[in-house]
Structure 1
Amino acid sequence: METLQHYIGGRWAEPAGEDVVAVVNPATEETFAQFHVGGADDVDRAVAGAVAAQPGWAALTVARRVELIHAWADTIAAHAAELAELECREMGKPVGIGQSFIAGAVAGLKAAADQALTYPFTETVTGTDAGTADAGTGPAGGRTDIVRHPLGVTAVITPWNFPVVMVLGALGPLLAAGNTVVVKPSERSPVSTVRLFELAAATGLPPGVLSLVLGDARTGAALTEHEDVQLVHFTGSVGAGRAVGTATGRRLSRSVLELGGKDPVVVDAGVDPVATAQAVAFGAFINTGQICTSMERIYVHERIADEFVEALVAAAGTFAVGDGLDPATMLGPLVDDRQRDTVRRHVEDAVRKGATVRAGGTVPDRPGYFYPATVLTGVDDTMLVMTEETFGPVAPVTVVASFEEGLAHAASSRYGLAATVYTDDPDHIATAARLPVGVVWVNQWQGGGPERLYEPARDSGMGATGARAAYDAATRPAAVHIAATVPAAATAPAADR
């Protein structure tokens, strides 16, 4: 059994804590790795190493920092299959699916780092105030430069469902802007993150620029409450996100929070019901529904509802359940028994309240935390499956009389992460753009490029991210005003000469 370690100041180190966490393969229920929970002392050492490394890292040119990030990204790409297998063993994601996501994350890391090459770390403000002379503060004119400095030490706390992707997605702007970073992965899936840091150590990133602490919620709390951490980038549950926001707010530092989602899908009358159902099945079931932006509420126009549901049920049947190491597997296990219990409870609650199971809906009689692709109809907003984050392979369908009714349902949630609409009506597209969410996808789930920026709404988080917004969050602006002239030496009165 592998025993995992911290990576602090460029060295691998045993955690100081005594509590041990087992990492369990959710397909076999077998423990294959373990680690000691990091405590406040471990966090102090990691942050101290990051503090020491930050001035030297920030002193490098932007181009050099980007070059080092690219070298790490290229190494990750060469080990994508290995990393995907580790993810499969620790949280169940099928290897082929994992590789595709990792490839996308590597490309995203490079693109995010490259944005530093054109980001205005220094820019001159036009329209300098001409009233300074009248105010008696000196001659008018001159210029004001806005200089954006790195924050210093930042923290990234990642969830268990995308161990590699979420680390890479956060690090590009933080590192390229000149910050150092301490990463705390989820205790449920730390193994692939440890491997990421082994690859970082082998590709020349200076010691202390990236540090890793392993642990649970206690470790995360010690990191978010540390006085030398200037920004916390957190992805996880709403409850934990509130705790992070409270901790950072108390010491007047920053946080970027991407929290839960209950993403809606609105299917208009004019689309192809079969092709759209197949697209929705992918969005609902991929990664066993364990994606913050999984399609968790589906509203379909009554004119195409029968054909859509029939095609959705057929598509659910193509998601073969099994160990993600098997190339034939489309639907791996849920991360653990606790997560499967949540999915089962939501489905049972819906059935008890009148919903109909059209596909799946029962726990397979086999080892592992499996649950089949499930389609429910006859659901309503009294059911947990339509109001709480399920985070599993469940597609609940509500039939609506109009696109407008579907949008109204889509907007009626305490979450506001993303939404997807399928329509060929330009007016409906314009209306959908006003949904109170961070991202609206029209006719393509997960669409968009590296220039995309957004901010979650409602309980789904706070803090804009992506493109320039990510660099704005990773830097602190300071205004530097340079006067037009240097003050002349004072002349003594004639009587005193």
Structure 2
Amino acid sequence: MASAIFRCGFRTLSVFPKRTLYLNRHYSAMSSLLIEDPKYAWLKQLGLEVDNPGAFWGSWGGNGEVTTSYCPANNKPIARVTQGDEGDLEMCIYNGKAAWDVWADLPAPQRGEVVRQLGHALREKLELLGKLVTLEMGKILPEGIGEVQEYVDVCDYAVGLSRMFAGQVLPSERPGHILLEQWNPIGLVGVITAFNFPVAPFGWNNAVALVCGNTMLWKGAPTTPLCSIAVTKILQSVFEANKLPPAICTMITGGTKIGIGITKDKRIPLVSFTGSCPAGNKVAVEVTKRFGKHLLELGGNNAIIVNEDADVDMVVRSAVFACAGTAGQRCTTTRRLIIHESLHDEIIYRLKKAYGQIKIGDPLDSGILYGPLHSKEAVEAFKNTVAEAQDLGGKIEYGGNVLDRPGNYVEPTIISGLEHDASVVQRETFVPIVYILKMKTLDEAIAWNNEVDQGLSSSLFTKDVSNVFLWMGAKGSDCGIVNVNIPTSGAEIGGAFGGNKHTGGGRESGSDSWKQYMRRSTCTINYSKDLPLAQGIKFE
């Protein structure tokens, strides 16, 4: 049925300028790849091969550097990718804009029907994609599957949204006039995502921006290109089944040059960027220079405050996942645990005991709760940060070591004894280290929560309702996510996700975040035969 709906709106797109299509390359001198191992034959069910083109503009290509994707659990090569170059980026932009002429003409509910099919296609490959996220990024399998499920859920959300987003009809002060708001798509949306969530953040942007009438250009992290390719192949199949131009969702792999090209191009009115604060600052400057819009989802130095009346069992259970989950590689990971002095020693004791029960191993194995860091560089950052914390007087309560095994494994680490304003505490390090801080009053703890540059996620554990409303109010947490009696991780898609201050101010997924992907017009219609001016001005 969906194919019949859209066939009448399809126009054949020319591919201009011409570009050399991808040709298979063979590198017999290189070591064997995991994709060639029968154990990983499932990778080919996602359309992946030994050598993969790393750019898609309606056709697959790639004329950039040949790179290899590695598994962080053992540092073995998975498969090769030929990245895109500046010419391939031009192909993506040109064809993405051409596809917009078709896509924007479709009524929003019909766009929603296509997004429903995208969600269904992703759901059919849920476990396979989840395994790929785990293999290439390093998070445990339940988290890998959960990340893809989040994309599916956002598609479901966007289907309903396609029949709901609307402006307002406002009272006009002039007789015979109507004042209203009209929302329209902005065009080609650029999305740059990070390694730690190689699927979900693109999904937040993709599903919502599509139903708003935009086309997409996606650049994933250079170290997780296979996730980008596999997802794009699924999207391609749905657009082609509906007789729509597959360049509605283009994709390019590559490094800094490609990212800079996206941020500087005036044909991309909105750039959504997920990554570090320093990189996000550069993106914001470049996009603002050309008067474009940016949506930034940057770092977080998140805190859990444990008030004296907190439920200690809930605190410990929450902190284990919030601090050690994903090996500390979530932007919402708890970096600071601010504990009332009356509970300080008990919680450290119980948290150390819980850490000792975390099962560490291959993230694809059943029962594993903690996998590797994504890269060798992250291991070095871990080692350097632990040493710095000790130099500043920090005490290692648990962990602190690199594990002697294949892959990028380190111990989840608890450090106490540092001042709240110590340099290492004030800085986000994207590794599994949590700093325990001892506080005397809730007001003091809130001040410490707010003193860091970032403002992403925060949580307060308390049983006192007056504390809850203080925490949520004007003099409470200054973060974009303000939780009570739950950890800092685990946001739901129905609420807008994002943070304040150096976190960038962007909002994705639910609530009214759809407005960022559209332009608003205030429209006045005169249905009378008179021409009264506003404010009663007479000009006759």
Could you tell me the TM-score, scaled by structure 1's length?
Answer: 0.92
Q: Are 1:439 and 2:487 an aligned pair?
A: no
- Kindly report which structure 2 residues correspond to 1:46-445, keeping only aligned pairs within 5 A, or say none: 46-120=92-166, 122-125=167-170, 127-130=171-174, 140-204=175-239, 206=244, 207-381=246-420, 383-433=422-472, 434-445=476-487
Contact 2:277–2:503 (CA<8 Å) still a contact in 1?
Answer: yes
In 2, Cα distance between equivalents of 1:388 and 1:33: 35
Among 479, 487, 491, the alignment partner of 2:522 is 479
After alignment, is 431-440 or 449-458 more displaced?
Answer: 449-458
Contact 1:22–1:35 (CA<8 Å) still a contact in 2?
Answer: yes
Displacement after TM superposition at 1:487 (Å): 6.8
Match of 1:495 in 2: none
Displacement after TM superposition at 1:142 (Å): 1.6
Match of 1:493 in 2: none
Against the structure 1 CA distance between its residues 375 and 468, is the aligned structure 2 distance closer, same or farther, given a 3 Å change threshold?
Answer: closer
In 2, Cα distance between equivalents of 1:453 and 1:96: 24
Q: Determine helix, strand or coil for the equivalent of 1:60.
A: coil
Q: Determine helix, strand or coil for the equivalent of 2:238.
A: coil
Against the structure 1 CA distance between its residues 111 and 317, is the aligned structure 2 distance closer, same or farther, given a 3 Å change threshold?
Answer: same
Displacement after TM superposition at 1:355 (Å): 1.4
Displacement after TM superposition at 1:454 (Å): 5.5
Contact 2:420–2:437 (CA<8 Å) still a contact in 1?
Answer: no
In 1, Cα distance between equivalents of 2:490 and 2:375: 30
Q: Determine helix, strand or coil for the equivalent of 1:5.
A: strand
Contact 1:96–1:327 (CA<8 Å) still a contact in 2?
Answer: no
In 1, Cα distance between equivalents of 2:117 and 2:316: 41
RMSD after superposition: 1.8
Against the structure 1 CA distance between its residues 453 and 328, is the aligned structure 2 distance closer, same or farther, given a 3 Å change threshold?
Answer: closer
Against the structure 1 CA distance between its residues 447 and 192, is the aligned structure 2 distance closer, same or farther, given a 3 Å change threshold?
Answer: closer
Among 40, 53, 57, the alignment partner of 1:5 is 53
Contact 1:73–1:110 (CA<8 Å) still a contact in 2?
Answer: yes
Identity of aligned residues (%): 24
Aligned partner letter, 2:191: V
Displacement after TM superposition at 1:96 (Å): 2.1
Q: Determine helix, strand or coil for the equivalent of 2:247.
A: coil
Match of 2:88 in 1: 42
Contact 1:421–1:441 (CA<8 Å) still a contact in 2?
Answer: yes
How many residues of Structure 1 are paired with residues of Structure 2 in the alignment? 475
Could you tell me the TM-score, scaled by structure 2's length?
Answer: 0.84
Against the structure 1 CA distance between its residues 454 and 275, is the aligned structure 2 distance closer, same or farther, given a 3 Å change threshold?
Answer: closer
Among 17, 26, 29, the alignment partner of 2:72 is 26
Match of 2:39 in 1: none
Q: Determine helix, strand or coil for the equivalent of 1:23.
A: strand
Displacement after TM superposition at 1:108 (Å): 2.5
In 2, Cα distance between equivalents of 1:156 and 1:48: 16
In 2, Cα distance between equivalents of 1:468 and 1:442: 20
Against the structure 1 CA distance between its residues 454 and 87, is the aligned structure 2 distance closer, same or farther, given a 3 Å change threshold?
Answer: closer
After alignment, is 356-365 or 377-386 more displaced?
Answer: 377-386
Contact 1:27–1:369 (CA<8 Å) still a contact in 2?
Answer: yes
After alignment, is 294-303 or 379-388 more displaced?
Answer: 379-388
